[in-house]
Amino acid sequence: MNDVPTASPLTSGVHVHPTPEAAGADAARTAAAAILDALRARGRARVIFASAPSQEQMLAALAADARIDWSLVTSFHMDEYLGLAPDRPQAFGRWLQDRLPAAAQAGFVRIDTTADPTAEAARYAGLLSEAPIDLTCLGLGINGHVAFNEPDVARFDDPEQLRVIELDARSRDQQVAEGLFDTLDDVPTRALTLTVPALTSAAVVVATVLGAHKARAVADALVGPVSPSCPGSVLREHPRASMHLDAAAASLLPEPAGVPEPAGVPEPAGVPVRTGAGASGHVTAS
């Protein structure tokens, strides 16, 4: 796919904040608005969540939003390790279950990795297809992956909703670097993941990306080619996607974004950045 130079890398904006807490709170406000819109329109909301440290602040703020009736929300998670017991703290379903509010537990649908993976992929895909998805809340891997759709393996036109995949080496390294596993040997090598089309089928996509270790992936996703070489770049094709960054994650974006360019790092080309509070598609700093 060709490079897409544009002044609006994401339709609903790229929002840069000084701290992870501020970025997470802003992402939670955007996510809450999508959930509340769905509840007003249909009386139910259906949400896909990522399970990752970058989502901690966003989930905490979202769970605390008293306007949301979580008993009316059906929640899905976007990936799960194969070969890892479901009660292990590193299991993505367990991680998310521990962070969703009590009222959301009855509506949380976990991927069952004790079942045959092919059969489970079909079961979970059927549940996802029962009604429209209102919101996907995701992060971005250090290699640009979304869920476990890995670079150059991800398909933007994937006909399936879930796939069994082999984990990229950098994805496994990231799990150790973030303190989720003690050693690389402890990290599973296979997972079941929602595909790119399943994630982006949501009416609204809210990405929360934090930390300097994600800065290159952020720049690649927002100003590089729209290509499976950086699966996160697909967000630039979504009609209602936003990205919420702390200063460290935004540090390789073109200025002015409220974040100084690190010395000796070339500025990515292709996206003239403008500032302006609330301007759709702009990179804004706060």
Segment-wise mean pLDDT, segments of 10 residues, the chain, 286 residues: 46 95 98 98 98 96 98 97 86 94 97 93 97 98 94 95 87 78 82 97 98 97 97 97 98 66 38 31 56
- Residue 56 designated active-site: no
- Determine which one of 17, 26, 79, 80 is catalytic: 79
List, in order, residues 6 or more apart from 138 with CB less than 8 Å away.
Answer: 48, 50, 78, 146, 147, 199, 205, 206, 207, 208
Q: What is the pLDDT of residue 54?
A: 95
- Determine which one of 26, 80, 134, 150 is catalytic: 150
The one-letter amino acid code at 16 reads V
Q: What is the pLDDT of residue 286?
A: 60
Q: What are phi and psi of 124, to 5 degrees?
A: -70, -40
Instruction: Out of 3.40.630.10, 3.90.550.10, 3.40.50.1360, 3.10.129.10, select the CATH number for domain 14-261+279-285.
Output: 3.40.50.1360
- Residue 160 designated active-site: no
pTM recorded for the entire structure = 0.85
Q: What is the pLDDT of residue 285?
A: 63
- Determine which one of 145, 238, 244, 282 is catalytic: 145
- Residue 255 designated active-site: no
- Residue 145 designated active-site: yes
- Determine which one of 143, 244, 246, 282 is catalytic: 143
Task: Return the domain boundaries, the chain.
Answer: 14-261+279-285
Q: Which of 108, 42, 94, 40 is nearest to 68 (CA)?
A: 40
